[in-house]
Amino acid sequence: MTERIITYAEAIREAIGQAMETDDNVFMLGEDIGIYGGAFGVSGDLYQRFGKERILDTPISELGIVGAAVGAALVGMKPIVEIQFSDFTAQAMDQIVNQAAKIHFMLGGELSVPMVLRAPSGSGTGAAAQHSQSLETWFAHVPGLKVVMPSSPYEAKGLLLAALDDPNPVIVLEHKLLYKTSGHVPEEQYRIPIGVSNKVRDGKALTIVASGVMVSRSLEAAETLSGMGIEVEVIDVRSLSPLDMGPINESVKKTGKVMLVQEAPKHVGFMAEVAARIAEGEALYSLTEPVKRLCGMDVPIPYAPQLEKSVVPQLDDIVAAAVEVNRGI
């Protein structure tokens, strides 16, 4: 039987459509998601299928969009917020951090906020410094928020449906470069549990830990490295919060070497947390080399294409760094 192949964007749209067909309380709101179909085409034909009362085009006011979603969630609705660029969440941080993430705790669990916030993340589209950031660490640092970064079409659908089942807010960060990538996605509904890391490639020489677009980039690097006689294991941290260290620790104990790859700047990045947790646990004693972090530079994302590529890890950077770690350089 032939595998069903669709794009990352189509997988997200399918998950939203299936959720809306199943539950009348699910609706979506955001800028240009209606007739226009979304800034990256994700909402597509959902406006035509479900109408303007469930696919709500909003004014350009991220604070207002998220505030409306929090209010709707408190009275039993299940809003899906689309923020046009993850950078624009800065305009809505009070509602995200001080309202959505806190209400369940402040009211002793009497109320929940079943809100999903989706946002395109990362660089690679020539959108420059204010539209290309990787801000996952902002959200992962906030108790009360769950944070996921799907790395494939299969994960995009399964994690989004799981997020919609969650009684409290989930941030779904979708890398822009993944929207047009394709992969196997079942037509039926399925869930990928939030809070579970995933081993996506077996190896014995080195562990690579990555999330989002860096997973596919690391897998591509792994193929190149295999041709050089270096078999690397790749762990997909698809759930940043809660973080599952189990597969990471087991892999590090096996390989004795680990490289942590992220697009975001190195300083106080998410992979620093992963490194700290490795250092705090038994896996530390299996390391034969120091933990290696391969990250974006601590600079705003440039506009010029060649400079944009130069400040975040590319395929050749991952290969070169892995060779160095494997050799103990």
pLDDT digits (tens, 9 = 90+) for 65-104: 999 999 999 999 999 999 999 999 999 999 999 999 999 9
For the entire predicted model, the pTM comes to: 0.97
179 and 251 both lie in a single domain? no
Co-location of 261 and 158 in the same domain: no
- Provide mean pLDDT across the span 190-202: 98
Rounded Cα distance, 201 and 254, in Å: 13
Task: Please give the pLDDT value at position 328.
Answer: 79
Are 294 and 256 within one domain? yes
Residues 118 and 170: their CA atoms lie apart, in Å, by 9
Check residue 2 and give its pLDDT. Answer: 78
Residue 145, Cβ density class (10 Å: 0-12 exposed, 13-18 middle, ≥19 buried) = buried
Q: Is 131 a catalytic residue?
A: yes
Same domain, 250 and 295: yes
Q: Helices 213-227 and 315-327: crossing angle, nearest 10°? A: 60
Tokens of 86: 């993850």
- Domain membership of residue 191 (yes or no) is no
The first and second tokens of residue 95, run together, are 């509602």
pLDDT (average), residues 160-175: 98
Residues 175 and 207 in one domain: no
Share of the chain above pLDDT 70, in %: 99
pLDDT beyond 80 at 108: yes
Helix axes 246-255, 270-280, angle to 10 degrees: 70
My answer on whether 118 and 237 are in the same domain is: no
127 and 180 in a single domain? The answer is yes
| Structural domain that includes position 74 | 5-184
Going by C-alpha positions, the residue among 45, 40, 122 that lies closest to residue 86 is 122
On whether residue 142 sits in a domain, the answer given is yes
Q: What is the mean pLDDT of residues 117-138?
A: 97
CATH number, domain with residue 284: 3.40.50.920
Go through the chain and tell me how many residues it has.
329
- The verdict on residue 192 lying in a domain is no
Has residue 189 been placed in a domain? no
**Are 55 and 174 part of one and the same domain?**
yes
- Say whether both 103 and 241 belong to one domain: no
Please check whether residues 10 and 106 belong to one and the same domain. Answer: yes
**What's the number of domains the chain is made of?**
2
Same domain, 251 and 122: no
Q: What pLDDT band is residue 1 in, cutting at 50, 70 and 90? A: low
CATH number, residue 127? 3.40.50.970
193 in a structural domain: no
Q: Which of 131, 141, 175, 267 is catalytic?
A: 131
Q: In what order do the strands lie in the sheet with 232-236?
A: 198-201, 232-236, 206-210, 258-265, 292-296
CB-based contact 172:127 (threshold 8 Å): no
Does residue 323 share a domain with residue 251?
yes
